[in-house]
Chains A and B, each alone.
Chain A
Amino acid sequence: MDRRFAVVAAAPALLLLAIPFFAQDAAAPAAGKGGKGGKGGPAKLLRPVEPAPRWPDGRVNLGAAPGHTGYWELRPGFAGRPSGPVPFQPWAKALFDYRQSSQKLTRPPYIDCRAAPGPEYLLAPGFEIIDAPDLKRVFLMDMGGSHSWRVIYTDGRQHPKKEDLRPTFLGHSIGHFEGDTLVVDTVGFNEKIWIMGSYPSTEQLHLTEKFTRPTLGSLEYEVTVDDPGAYTAPWSSRGVINETMAAGFVPNGEMFEYICEDDR
């Protein structure tokens, strides 16, 4: 069987099983230094470290360099574990426990092909970033999940007023660069989504995501969940892809088609 199909066929099952196994958390090493891997001990460089592509004005290019292609391959996911204890409100803790207790009774919505926000978007088999400064947008193209696209407006606009905000699966995302980090601010989520596996959320959810690309083949991701309807304080998770990992940036690679609805 084609390797790709083995990966995608396993993707939903992998996700359900793999949540406790994400090795990415706050102790992630500095990428590109050829140093320690995720769990300590020296890690071998599996791919050469090359500088991150940049636009003429010096700003980092999160996508493929002009004339090149490439996407981020993930096995199985990117940021799946909170960096510390999660400050649940009691109802949210009860719901979380229930979701965890039975994977037969409860299924994350993206298993049913619904688009999933934030870190759920960044799952096997991977995604591609289209950094389009001319359009003043960054697009995230999801390979798995709903095989859909996400737009981050970098044209300086604000979120719509609360009463005009339409609750959606992916929310309304605005972004700006702080040095080499794209900071994305998203509101306007509906209540049909699950965060990072089984974590509940409400329409008050406000996600902040940071994408940093230190080298061509490394990506650092941090997400902060701020939902006063479900949690008593914001909490975060981090993930790293770098050249010491089996899966990562595939230069000159192409995304392939995966249609969730066809796989059910």
Chain B
Amino acid sequence: MPSKKALTAVVSAAALLAAISLLAQAPAPAPGQNKGGIGLFRNQPAVPTGPAPKLADGTPDLTGVWLGGGASDADIANPRSLKEGSKVVMLPWAEALVKTRQSKEDPEANCLPAGIPRGSPYPWRMVQTPTHYFLLFEGNIHSYRQIFMNAKHPADPDPTWFGHSVGHWEGNTLIVDTVGFNDKFWFDYVGHPHTEKLHTIERYTRTDMGHLAIEVTIDDPGAYAQPFTTVGKAQLMVGAELLEYICQENNQDLPKLEGPARGPGGR
């Protein structure tokens, strides 16, 4: 018969895990908290509903300051952020690697880019020009991604953190196809890896004024036995501005990180 202490520990751990999986979805506020909150931010203007807007030329308007929508940055295999029917099945080398990864090796903790599709708890902005769409990030390394509209990938792209993205519209959905990744970023805190064979397909659909549905199909035959798709829903932060966030300013934590790579609350 387990001791009361052990039982308490088990229940606490279970509660911890439950809370983490709940909280790992950046856009969803924890129960009883954040009335009018979006993600970590309290007392935000209500997320509007109403029809999704269009630009003057009829293209869906995705511009705005958004929060969330990325895959779970705690663990990409979290079923709550996977599309129905998707499974994250690592190849043996990848499984073995994940078990050895240490928290302090996480490039994100080293002020390096989070790549695609790792979400962040900080807002981001979409800017649309006729030829390029830009994603401006407040968080991570306060950088940007370019999407070259109606363009082609180069034959042999140099491997980069954010890859080479080309976009086109299918109806009201923006499809962004990206190749040319390096293999350096982690998909999440747990340390899911990928290779330079990674090919992502993002689908952005503004379902109403305040919501942007985002699906990301991850296809990396070098690390995963089958493609899988993450789902997320970004919320519009009305009236918000992106603030500055310079990761290198005062990154004190790196030398203090101990132990294996894991989600924020631990496992």
Complex alpha-carbon distance, A146 and B142, angstroms:
8
In the complex, the answer to whether B249 meets A255 with C-beta atoms within 8 Å is no
Number of A-B contacts (CB under 8 A): 87
Q: Do A170 and B244 touch (CB < 8 A)?
A: yes
Which residues in A have their C-beta under 8 angstroms from that of B134? 130, 139, 141, 149
Given A113-B248, A257-B160, also A66-B141 (CB < 8 A): no
Check B246 against A135 for contact (C-beta < 8 Å): no
Q: With contacts A64-B129, A192-B249 known, is A146 near B141, CB below 8 A?
A: yes
**Chain B positions 105 through 140: 1 when the CB is less than 8 Å from some CB of chain A, otherwise 0:** 000001111000000000000010111101010000
Please encode chain A, from 132 to 166, with 1 for each CB lying within 8 Å of some chain B CB and 0 for all others. Answer: 10110001010000111101000000000000001
Residue ID in chain A nearest B129 by CB atoms: A130
CA distance A192 to B248 in the complex (A): 11
User: Could you tell me if A254 and B148 are in contact, using CB atoms closer than 8 angstroms?
Assistant: yes
Q: Is A69 an interface residue (CB 8 A)?
A: yes
Question: For residue B131, which residues in chain A have a CB less than 8 angstroms away from its CB?
Answer: 64, 66-69
A113-B248, A257-B162 given; A148·B143 CB < 8 A: yes
Q: In the bound complex, how far is the Cα of B141 from the Cα of A261, in angstroms?
A: 9
Interface residues of A in 214-264 (CB under 8 A from B): 254-257, 259, 261-262
What is the distance, in angstroms, from A85's C-beta to the closest C-beta of chain B? 32
Given contact pairs A114-B248, A114-B249, A254-B148, A147 touches B141 in the complex (Cβ within 8 A): yes
A63 within 8 A of B: yes
Could you say which of A4, A66, A115, A169 contacts B129, with CB atoms under 8 Å apart?
A: A66
Nearest A residue to B131 via CB reads: A69
Give Cα A206–Cα B136 distance, bound, in whole angstroms.
25
The distance in angstroms between the C-alpha atoms of A2 and B144, with both chains bound, is 23
CB distance from A248 to the nearest CB of B (A): 20
Whether B84 sits at the interface, judged by CB under 8 Å, is: no
Interface residue tally of chain B, by bracket? 20 to 34
Contacts of A168 in B (CB 8 A): 244, 246
A148 touching B141 in the complex, CB below 8 Å, given contacts A114-B249, A257-B162, A259-B112: yes
Question: Closest B-chain residue to A257, C-beta based?
Answer: B160
Q: Of residues 44 to 85 in A, which have CB atoms within 8 Å of B's CB atoms?
A: 63-64, 66-69
A60 to B143, CA, bound (A): 27
Cross-interface CB contact of A169 among B127, B144, B158, B246, cutoff 8 Å: B246
Residues of chain A from 99 to 135 with CB closer than 8 A to chain B in the complex: 112-115, 130, 132, 134-135
Is there a chain A Cβ closer than 8 Å to B242's Cβ?
yes
Kindly identify which residue among A67, A113, A259 contacts B161, using a CB–CB cutoff of 8 Å.
Answer: A259
CB-based nearest A residue for B160: A257
Contact partners of A139 in chain B: CB under 8 A: 127, 134, 136
Q: Is B146 an interface residue (CB 8 A)?
A: yes
- Complex contacts, A256 vs chain B, CB 8 Å: 158, 160
* A7 CB, nearest partner CB in chain B, Å: 13
B148/A261 in contact, CB under 8 A: no
Q: Is the CB of A141 within 8 A of B248?
A: no
- Chain B residues with CB under 8 Å of A261's CB are 110-112, 141, 248
**B59 at the binding interface (Cβ < 8 Å):** no
Q: B127 contacts A135, CB within 8 Å?
A: yes
| Chain A CB within 8 A of B63 CB | yes
**Chain B proximity mask over A161-186: 1 for CB below 8 Å, otherwise 0:** 00000101110000000000000000
Contact B142 A115 (CB under 8 A): yes
Would you list 26 pairs from A and B whose C-beta atoms are within 8 A, ordered by A residue? Answer: A67-B131, A69-B131, A113-B248, A114-B249, A130-B134, A132-B127, A134-B63, A135-B127, A139-B136, A141-B134, A141-B144, A146-B246, A148-B141, A151-B242, A192-B249, A254-B148, A256-B158, A256-B160, A257-B162, A259-B112, A259-B141, A259-B143, A259-B160, A261-B141, A261-B248, A262-B112
Given contacts A148-B141, A261-B112, A262-B184, 16 further A-B contacts (CB under 8 A): A66-B130, A113-B248, A114-B248, A115-B142, A130-B129, A132-B127, A135-B127, A139-B127, A146-B141, A146-B246, A148-B142, A149-B134, A149-B136, A168-B244, A168-B246, A254-B146
- Top 4 A-B pairs, shortest CB-CB distance: A257-B160, A168-B244, A66-B130, A148-B142
Interface residues, chain B, with chain A CB atoms under 8 Å away: 55, 63, 110-113, 127, 129-132, 134, 136, 141-144, 146, 148, 158, 160-162, 184, 241-244, 246, 248-249
